[in-house]
Amino acid sequence: MIYTITFNPAIDYVVRMGSELLPGMTNRSDSEECYFGGKGINVSTILKNLGLDNTALGFVAGFTGKAIAADVERKGIKANFIELPEGISRINVKIKGAAETEINAQGPKIPQSAQDELFGQLDALKDGDILILAGSIPSSLPSDVYEKILAKLSDKKIDVVVDATKDLLKNVLKYHPFLIKPNNHELGEMFDTVLKTDDEIEAHAKKLQEMGARNVLISMAGDGAMLITETGEKHRVGVPKGQVRNSVGAGDSMVAGFVAGFLENHDYSQALKMGTAAGSATAFSDDLATGEAIRELYSKL
């Protein structure tokens, strides 16, 4: 079974405007949409769209949390969310006009009892399962929560995927995660440098392997992606042509696509192509990509 964890899910309230946002004035929208997710839920959605059953774990609160849980159920994704006693799950406002403006909420406080309940859920994971950890963590959780999760699972044969940045990612490498996915800018930031060439990106990805990562997937937006495998191979792929409509969830889609592609026949080259197709298909859509859109792009890579 594949599991995802979303510590701080959200409803993205997207407001589209035909003109510039004017502070201090009454502004009127052209249209509005709501998208339900969070990085782990996004991964779960793409996995389900590609035909892979999975279980979404995490925390929800209040009426917004109930709406998020209902949307996950509507998509056919199995979920085992922990309901928090206070607060509401986040509503993030995305204003798309002449320029894009975002207001991201903090989310509810996660008490120790809820944290303990999540760790109890992790006891159900078995050898051969996959766990995907994606995104930042809310301030009410300890900064080493990723480390604690990997430490708890270290005696089981579980492939862990981590999509995080800076110390949150660095500190889990000693537990040898199956896959990590920084983008090229995040990879440079981890070493206080700017990476300009493929050779520089490859060299620094291998440094993360020396620190414990098994496979390192580096996304590079319009320049495609690179994969450095635990078997010493380097794979490189460009991106298909298309009009970028949306950047939200593209990285999560790449993670899900990679996992789905790898599980088909354990081929790293195919996994990279499927990940790239999934990330691109979401970027070319208003919402997370459908399985049909992903496989169509995959056939063109």
Going by DSSP bridges, is the β-strand pair 31-37/78-83 parallel, antiparallel, or unpaired?
unpaired
**Catalytic annotation, residues:** 252
Query: What stretches of the chain adopt beta strand conformation (E)?
Result: 2-6, 10-16, 31-37, 54-60, 78-83, 90-96, 100-103, 130-134, 159-163, 179-180, 215-219, 225-228, 234-237
Residue 5: both structure tokens together: 């964890």
Count Cα neighbours of 203 within 13 Å in the Cβ-side half-sphere: 10
Residue 82: both structure tokens together: 């922990």
**Mapping DSSP to helix (H, G, I), strand (E, B) and coil, where does residue 245 land?**
coil
Whole-angstrom distance, CA of residue 18 vs CA of residue 20: 7
